[in-house]
Structure 1
Amino acid sequence: MNDKIILDYINNTAKALSASTGVTTKEVSSSLGLQRSNVSAVLNNLVRQNKLVKGEGRPVKYWIPLEIRKPFSTPVASYKENIMPQEKAVVRHHLFEKMIGNDMSLKTPIDQAKAAVIYPDNGLYTLIIGPTGSGKTYFANAMASFAKFQGLIKKDRVMSTLNCADYANNPQLLMSYLFGHTKGAYTGAENERPGLLKQSDGTILFLDEVHRLPPEGQEMLFSFMDSGEYRPLGYSGPPLKAKVRIVCATTENPKSSLLSTFLRRIPIVIRLPAFHNREAKERLDLLKHLIGIEAKRIKREIQIDERVVKALLGSVTYGNVGQLKSIIQMVCAKGFLQNDPESLTLYLRYDELEDVLADGLNRFNQERQLYTSFLGLIEPETTMSPSDDPLPADTDNYEPPFNL
């Protein structure tokens, strides 16, 4: 059915007449809402049937020879209604699409992540390296979103997450959470517990602060990476099997904090940039996005003046995007108390917030490189409404509940 839909669409596209005006795979995919890989397969099949002509240049264009072109018939808007039901079930969007910096500082990390996700037959193990607050958890969630978009993970499955630092002082409990244990495996193990490897079968397991996993745990994990088999603590039966896409993250130098044998099992290493290393426009877009999240949270428009924006940007010294998020929440909370509770707009004025923002504004004005990089980018007033959502979601497994 999709062959006919795509062929009809191209036939009725006025520009699909020649090599110079043909349509690309991306254009067809976007217009019809079909997966790009499926569209590419159909287009090449139509070329083999001599129903389409394929160009030689880049991007590759396709067109219908004039001698077999039919009169225009079906409106483009109606094509999506005829797509097969299984195509409609595919997740249509993923977080990488609108991630701030996807065409700048994050372009290479995103390309690496996509390659890791789609590599046959169960993806490639991945290590994300970045300073505290640089968005490692969010990036891992984006990988899970992309895997669903590609149909590699069922859309009702969620990414499993374990922060190894939470159990660093109890390595036995940490390995129990990861691999599971049998009843009586150790003191206090009164019941059998399935581990995260079992729960993550068919989806992604994200191990944050993986350098806090003890050496014996790393050895057990790289054994699983090699064979796809594992044994819960205290289990003496035949090994259990699971297909798990493992994504790890660390703030440390992996060569000094992880076993070399463990590192050799991880072919994809992704490095996320610190906040101050990202383009000025990216930093400003991130600030607007985080303010938009608070606007949605309090169901009010938020309006901030130029000096508040500069002070917020200058306040980020060590904690990257995570620190910026905390400062914005604190400023919004303070402004919320000072504003009229009945007002539909929350006004954040520097004069009312100087006691908490003075250091940030001084730093912004005194650091010449920081000051000049934002020249011409910051408006006198910045307004974000509850409907302003630059990204599809703000997914952060470790953000505590925060209710203004």
Structure 2
Amino acid sequence: MHRKDRIFEALRSLCAQRPAQSSALRRHAGFSAEEVAELAEVDRTNASRDLNLLAQEGIIERIPGRPVLFTIKAPAQAARSADASDGHEKTHTGQAGLSGPLLAQKQDQPPSISASVHVGAVVTSFETLIGSNEGLKVAVQQAKAAIIYPPRGLHTLLCGPSGVGKTTFARLMHAFALELKALPPDAPFISFNCADYAGNPQLLMAHLFGVERGAYTGADRNREGLVEQAHRGILFLDEVHRLPPEGQEMLFYLMDRERFRRMGDVRERQASLLLLAATTEDPNTALLPTFSRRIPMTINVPGLNERTITERYELVRAFFTAECSSIGTNIHVAPQVLRALLLYECPGNIGQLRTDVQLTCARAYLEYRTRNLSELNVHTDVLPDHIRRGLLRTADFHRTLEPVLHQLEATHIFTPTGLSLDSIPGSTHDLYDSISTELTALRSSGLHADEINDLLHLDIQRYCQRFADTVTQERSDATPNIVDERILAISHSIVQFAEEQL
């Protein structure tokens, strides 16, 4: 059973155990991602992602609030949702991407309701990409459209600063093409960085288009180029702006006629391929107009500063999980370390973020081995200075951190199996012990006393607010059972009027 199916089954099981609620009490008829994750025995983050996908597909209902709740749709509601989707998002009709219980749920609907499935609902390798439904949603949809466009897809230019993951994105486009059978099963993915030979244009052209024996001194044999190797597949050219003008013209001819010539050869050869190119420069100034005009699809891959804080948090978790798998032992990551990694300035984008996590783990591993510690702890002392400075931005970016504040109260434990366990403190946690522990850790990190005071003040506020929110919610839930609703409504009106006057 697929993970998404398990998530759906867990939610359906929870809903079956709870009596049906009236529409007035619908807010309390759902279940949080944490409850579903516990029953399905999966990571909470993965459960949240799958639940949101199911809600987008119209299979379950998402109830906004704190926390967000999910529930199985009522039959009438599901029918309305299906009718609405038929009206504005009907790319193709069918049951693609649904399996097991999810498919059964669709088949249980009345025959008059057709299951409208958007291309994005098809289970693809893009679903493994962090941010595919957030900061990268537009880019992913463009990439899918470029791959499935008849007859053989659209040549595509990926634009974005260094380190945003353009090469990874191109590989996922290839994987998506294979899964949808838009390319043959053995279609190659040939990757080449034009910057590697930028200082020698002749060698670059030879590497790309191939060489006929005797074309130049030292060319003692015929050699096929990357264009021939990519036949019936994808050719990915990174830093394409480093390609000389004559090379861009030859690529233009290849895209236009599917023909090319090796260096030193007068005979034309045939090559049918999909070109994916990437650049960190402005294509309007860095590429020949005749070349850029032949690339109909341009996809902008956003930088790390354009991604949501939730995406950055998931990226950090993924990188720690990868390092944990490499090391082969559990990694305990302190909350302050996670906060610093979420807030520090990272101009090198995802590439730098991964390198910085690796460097941090290497420092912690050195301490773990040299001191013969029982646990591998990543604390603020092992952070490089440029990452530790991220803690100084906590006050300025407190609102930015709100979506992940609850997770940042935990020591994260990463295991070699890839599972991340969040040790969330319970309500019986001693506040004063927490302050003492944090004070010691922050002092050892070398921060100024005023900065330590500000950070601890924010922690105390957040700690108290968390319990205040809980008490407020409990009191709000209990009030209708004690006071008549009409009196309650009048009281709210009086309070609102008083607030406006004051």
Residue aligning to 1:137: 167
Alignment-mate amino acid for residue 410 of structure 2: P
Structure-2 separation of matches of 1:320 and 1:137: 14
Contact 2:360–2:384 (Cα < 8 Å) also in 1 = no
Matches within 5 A, 1:5-404: 25-26=94-95, 29-31=98-100, 55=112, 59=116, 94-237=124-267, 239-340=268-369, 345-353=375-383, 355=385, 357-367=387-397, 370=400, 374-388=404-418
- Corresponding residue pairs, total: 327
Contact 2:339–2:391 (Cα < 8 Å) also in 1 = yes
Higher relative contact order (CA 8 A, sep 6+): 1
The SS at the match of 1:378 is: helix
Gaps (5+ residues) in structure 2? 1-58, 60-74, 83-92, 421-502
Deviations 1:138-194 (A, max 9, x none): 100100110110123344444100100111111111111111110111222222110
Structure-2 separation of matches of 1:235 and 1:376: 65
Question: Which deviates further from its counterpart, 165-174 or 377-386?
Answer: 377-386
Contact 1:179–1:197 (Cα < 8 Å) also in 2 = yes
Deviation at 1:103, TM superposition (A): 1.0
Alignment-mate amino acid for residue 385 of structure 1: T
Deviation at 1:136, TM superposition (A): 0.3
The SS at the match of 2:408 is: coil
The SS at the match of 2:236 is: strand
Larger radius of gyration: 2
Alignment-mate amino acid for residue 55 of structure 1: S
**Residues 126 and 191 of structure 1: is their aligned pair in 2 closer, same or farther, counting only changes over 3 Å?**
same
**Residues 335 and 192 of structure 1: is their aligned pair in 2 closer, same or farther, counting only changes over 3 Å?**
same
Contact 1:300–1:344 (Cα < 8 Å) also in 2 = no
Alignment-mate amino acid for residue 106 of structure 1: L
Structure-2 separation of matches of 1:295 and 1:280: 22
Deviations 1:209-255 (A, max 9, x none): 00101111000001100011111111112x11111111000111100
Structure-2 separation of matches of 1:372 and 1:235: 63
Contact 1:183–1:189 (Cα < 8 Å) also in 2 = yes
Q: Percent same amino acid among aligned pairs?
A: 40
Alpha carbon RMSD of aligned pairs, Å?
3.2
Structure-1 separation of matches of 2:329 and 2:110: 54
Contact 2:194–2:238 (Cα < 8 Å) also in 1 = yes
Question: Which deviates further from its counterpart, 370-379 or 332-341?
Answer: 370-379
Deviations 1:30-66 (A, max 9, x none): 23999xxxxxxxx9xxxxxxxx985366737xxxxxx
Deviation at 1:98, TM superposition (A): 2.0
Scaled by the length of structure 2, what TM-score is found? 0.59
Gaps (5+ residues) in structure 1? 1-14, 35-42, 44-51, 61-91, 391-404
Higher normalized helix content (fraction of residues):
2
Structure-1 separation of matches of 2:314 and 2:378: 18
Structure-2 separation of matches of 1:144 and 1:358: 38
Deviation at 1:104, TM superposition (A): 1.2
Alignment-mate amino acid for residue 179 of structure 2: F
Structure-2 separation of matches of 1:217 and 1:319: 29
Structure-2 separation of matches of 1:131 and 1:144: 21
Contact 1:301–1:345 (Cα < 8 Å) also in 2 = yes
